[in-house]
A and B are shown apart, each in its own frame.
Chain A
Amino acid sequence: MAVLATLDSGSRAAARGWSDLAIRNAFILPTIAFLIVFNIFPLIYSLGFSFTEYRVSLQKPAEFVGLQNYADLLSDPAIWRSFTTTAQYVIVSVGGQMIVGFGLALLLNRPFKFKGLVTTLLMLPMMLSPAVVGLFWKLLYDPSWGPINYALGIGKFEWLSNRVNALFAVAITDIWMWSPFVMLLSLAGLSAIPKSLYEAAAIDRASWWYTFRRITLPLVSPLLLIALIFRTMEAFKAFDLPFIMSTASVETIAIKLYQMAFQGWDTGRASALAYIVLIVVVCITNIYVKYLNRAKER
């Protein structure tokens, strides 16, 4: 039916004098135009800025300085501190999401009553706006009357004021929000493993742990890696939650970038920093993709 429908509309378009090529272009060109204006042009334009001394706030033309911005940034301890914070945040937050998300998927990967409803409810956090999540977790963490301190019975514990606590607090919020994403991908991977393999493993007298290690994990690993790639990329760029919850304490690289570009108005240097972040993300992703390809070959 679908094929017939396509043929039909194709022939109708042809009757109007449109060739297949013209139809294809009509679909693609608007998107390409949009991408050029909003993605590719700024990408190249900012690459140009990254080699200049330029402030958007001043009425002065950009002044070419070569690699000066990059050299300055890479020798700036504050930048390195920011990178370290980001790395710590990525490890804690993505690590937590992988464990919680995959764990939930393992629990959900069996038939039980209201499975669909439970799965949907578990996915609610990632459907919320990060700004809203940040705001209400900030309330939850409040030292004087926040329910978290009350529930844990730890008095007036300061979650968001010092660097270490705040890093964990924001990461926990991120884990709460994004574990469902890992869960969803893991669940897709787990349910794709044929039941007969588990039956074969039972017949082969494999223990639960052996089966998990030798069957479940290897077969679900490509999807786990995809989840890992997405979450790492996102966490590396973390801005919304730290910005709303604890700008001063969790100074991720994205926050640093924001401060440089839109508070300090140091456009040239901010462009250079943006490029450094881009390169790092591309490198990390490439490492993962390499593992992913290896996992998929199996």
Chain B
Amino acid sequence: MAEIELRHIQKYFGAVHVIRDVNLTIRDREFVVLLGPSGCGKTTTLRAIAGLEEISSGEILIDGKPVQNLHASERDIAFVFQLYALYPHLSVFENIAFPLKATGMAKAEVDRSVMAIADALAIHHLLSLRPSALSGGDMQRVAIGRALVRRPKALLLDEPIGALDAKLREDMRVELKRLHLENGSTSIYVTHDQVEAMSLADRIVVMHDGILQQVGTPSEVYLRPANLFVAQFIGSPVMNIAEASITSSGGKVAVELDGESFAMPHDLVGMLVEKNADRISLGVRPEGVLLSHEEKAGYRPVEAHIIQPYGPFDIVDLRVGSQTLRARTHTGFVEKAGERVWARIDPAQAHFFDTASGNSLEIRLSE
């Protein structure tokens, strides 16, 4: 079990700056997910922690000890590779036993440990097979078994279920969560899939262009995105974002999107003045767009033009001036395109960003 700390990590590939001053502390037994689009530096960060990639500057500490100059084999960290990297010429048993035998463990002890892991992963029946005879899910189980068998200080996983099909991914997600609960090893998990990140993580680290964008629990990054990038990267369907202006006339405050105005509470004006942002972007998730069939206070008429049924809910695109506002409704709430409904933006679910910097203005309104 281990605490991992990254201090001012920088990494260049030639002239390309891949990791930019990353600072992060991962607590003992914590499950942290590095989330970001491809090329954001998350895998490089993970490989740097494992010792598979040298960093250009900065410090990596495991349990307080600097390890950035140690070879991967001296860091006592397990790594699950995206494409498994199982030894093709060895049986499943030999694959799992490899890290134990490599360090000279006695045969009886090796057998016992491998069997225990095979039990935990329910892969007993595969032990005599070669990796080429396994399905993707089973290969991944074996790779995880090989990582866990030696009870490493920390477990690093690089998109471990990215290559599996959707159904299997879901199963493996649950299995990974269960294994983490049972083993409790400090885990760092890299993915570009926000659903995986949300469902597995104790804390999510959102990365973009080699920079940490936000570190927080899944609900923090979902409910209080630190900037426009996080707001749009997390959540599906994506958050509605549009440049907005705030109008205040006759004691009524409204946010105006492309000429259409939506009512907002009074406090907004004061809060915005304090923040002193030139241009403002409004963000609201589809579930923050409230719909009604009849006219209500604070609601304004809009036209629905595309309806996407998801099963448990529908996503309805509303026409607001030349822009589209995406709302989440009960299944079948809007029956057909072209229907007129009344819409409102829930102030409690509205996010305000400084358009220029992209940073959140940290404005939280109540109903």
Interface class of chain B by DSSP: loop
If A196-B81, A298-B130 touch, does A205 touch B88 (CB 8 Å cutoff)?
no
Which of B78, B89, B102 is A201 in contact with, Cβ under 8 Å?
B102
Residues of B within 8 A of A199 (CB): 52, 72, 79, 81, 85
Q: How many residues of B contact A (CB 8 A)?
A: 26
A73 at the interface (CB under 8 A from B): no
Closest Cβ of chain A to B314, distance in Å, is: 44
Which of B51, B87, B150 is A197 in contact with, Cβ under 8 Å?
B87
The answer to whether B85 and A202 have CB atoms under 8 Å apart is no
Residues of A within 8 A of B99 (CB): 203-206
Contacts between the two chains (Cβ within 8 Å), count: 63
Interface residues of B in 98-120 (CB under 8 A from A): 98-99, 102-103
B146 at the interface (CB under 8 A from A): yes
The answer to whether A203 and B77 have CB atoms under 8 Å apart is yes
Expressed in whole angstroms, the Cα–Cα distance for A202 and B103 within the complex equals: 11
Closest Cβ of chain A to B150, distance in Å, is: 8
The answer to whether B85 and A200 have CB atoms under 8 Å apart is yes
Expressed in whole angstroms, the Cα–Cα distance for A202 and B74 within the complex equals: 9
B83 at the interface (CB under 8 A from A): yes
0 or 1 for each of B35-79: is its CB under 8 Å from A? (1 = yes) = 000000000000000111000000000000000000111101111
The answer to whether A203 and B88 have CB atoms under 8 Å apart is no
Expressed in whole angstroms, the Cα–Cα distance for A200 and B142 within the complex equals: 13
Expressed in whole angstroms, the Cα–Cα distance for A214 and B81 within the complex equals: 19
If A196-B83, A218-B89 touch, does A203 touch B98 (CB 8 Å cutoff)?
no
If A207-B102, A210-B102 touch, does A202 touch B87 (CB 8 Å cutoff)?
no
The answer to whether A298 and B77 have CB atoms under 8 Å apart is no
Expressed in whole angstroms, the Cα–Cα distance for A200 and B84 within the complex equals: 9
Which of A200, A207, A210 is B87 in contact with, Cβ under 8 Å?
A200
Residues of B within 8 A of A196 (CB): 81, 83, 85
Closest Cβ of chain B to A184, distance in Å, is: 22
Expressed in whole angstroms, the Cα–Cα distance for A197 and B85 within the complex equals: 6
Expressed in whole angstroms, the Cα–Cα distance for A128 and B100 within the complex equals: 49
The answer to whether A206 and B102 have CB atoms under 8 Å apart is yes
Closest Cβ of chain B to A218, distance in Å, is: 5
Nearest residue, chain B, Cβ from A193:
B88
The answer to whether B73 and A202 have CB atoms under 8 Å apart is yes
A61 at the interface (CB under 8 A from B): no
Expressed in whole angstroms, the Cα–Cα distance for A120 and B200 within the complex equals: 52
Closest Cβ of chain B to A26, distance in Å, is: 41
If A201-B102, A203-B73, A206-B102 touch, does A298 touch B81 (CB 8 Å cutoff)?
no
Residues of B within 8 A of A298 (CB): 88-89, 130
If A203-B72, A203-B79, A205-B103 touch, does A214 touch B85 (CB 8 Å cutoff)?
no
A215 at the interface (CB under 8 A from B): yes
Expressed in whole angstroms, the Cα–Cα distance for A210 and B73 within the complex equals: 12
Expressed in whole angstroms, the Cα–Cα distance for A196 and B50 within the complex equals: 13
Closest Cβ of chain B to A195, distance in Å, is: 9
Closest Cβ of chain A to B130, distance in Å, is: 7
Residues of A within 8 A of B150 (CB): 204-205
Expressed in whole angstroms, the Cα–Cα distance for A214 and B76 within the complex equals: 20
Closest Cβ of chain A to B46, distance in Å, is: 12
Nearest residue, chain B, Cβ from A203:
B79
A139 at the interface (CB under 8 A from B): no
- Smallest CB-CB A-B distances: 5 pairs: A204-B99, A206-B102, A196-B85, A298-B89, A202-B72
Given contacts A203-B50, A214-B87, 5 further A-B contacts (CB under 8 A): A194-B85, A200-B146, A201-B98, A203-B52, A207-B102
